[in-house]
Amino acid sequence: MASSLSSSPPGRRDRQKLDRERRIIQAAQRLFSRRGYSATSMEDVAARAGLAVGTIYNYFPSKPELLLAIVRRETASILERGRRFIEAPAGDPVDGVAGMVLLYFDDFMREDRDLWRELFAAAMVAPATVGRRVFEADASVVAQLAEYLDRLKANSLIRADVETAVAATAIYAVCFTWLIAYLSNDQVNPAFARMQIRRGIDVVIRGLLPELVAPVKEETSSPISGIPFIAAGD
């Protein structure tokens, strides 16, 4: 059954569907983070949501589909709030990019880290379904970062020759690195990860080479649709 979250404007019946869908997703999020994705059954989700098991399957035909619904909801939330950076770019590129990336990171912090551990584990086990959707979610975030860099370029706040898609991928990699560190090591706390993300972005934006050294550009193509390929220099 297709998600009813996109229904507009909702009538009484649509509102009931929306309410059930939200209850199911919220129940699944809680159970996946507390018990683990593998240890949670659809029957468990139904009991937590106060609905019949058949109703759960009407909305989400399988447990992976339910996990993907969580990914879609979280991604939509991130992208919606990221729009404000694009609509009103900061005067300082580092401050603006760091603010946007830390918004993404802080969104992850709203949920228990065990939920994201389960999500990434499920992505590894089911790369054709969960893994592909997680990749698509990451790609949409990178695309929004590239759009923000395009705005900075239009305002002459970054170099005119910057390949924004490639730069956005590098910037997101800083965030993703510390997200993985946060998920894989309980000693990494959010404040430390945020500080390291900010420092990494500062290096990416300001660069490593002296100002007078011209950047080397190499024409390449990506083996993966939508993601730029960064080739090593000669």
Structure tokens at 47: 């009991």
Using the predicted structure, report yes or no on whether residue 164 has a pLDDT greater than 70.
Answer: yes
38-97 pLDDT, tens per residue? 788 999 999 999 999 999 999 999 888 888 888 888 888 889 989 988 998 888 999 999
Structure tokens at 35: 């018990």
Q: What is the DSSP letter of 233?
A: P
- Going by C-beta distance under 8 Å and a sequence separation of 6 or more, which residues neighbour residue 147? 86, 164
SS3 of residue 214 by DSSP = coil
Using the predicted structure, report yes or no on whether residue 121 has a pLDDT greater than 90.
Answer: no
**Contact call for residues 188 and 181 (beta carbons, < 8 A):** yes
Would you say the pTM of this structure is higher than 0.85?
no
- Going by C-beta distance under 8 Å and a sequence separation of 6 or more, which residues neighbour residue 173? none
Using the predicted structure, report yes or no on whether residue 232 has a pLDDT greater than 70.
Answer: no
SS3 of residue 85 by DSSP = helix
Can you count the helices (H) and strands (E) in the chain? 9, 0
Torsion of CA 82, 85, 86, 88, to 10 degrees: 150
5-38 pLDDT, tens per residue? 444 455 777 788 888 999 999 899 888 878 877 7
Confidence grade of residue 139 (pLDDT, cut at 50, 70, 90): very high
**Mean pLDDT for the chain?**
83
CA 61 – CA 34 distance, rounded (Å): 22
Using the predicted structure, report yes or no on whether residue 221 has a pLDDT greater than 70.
Answer: no
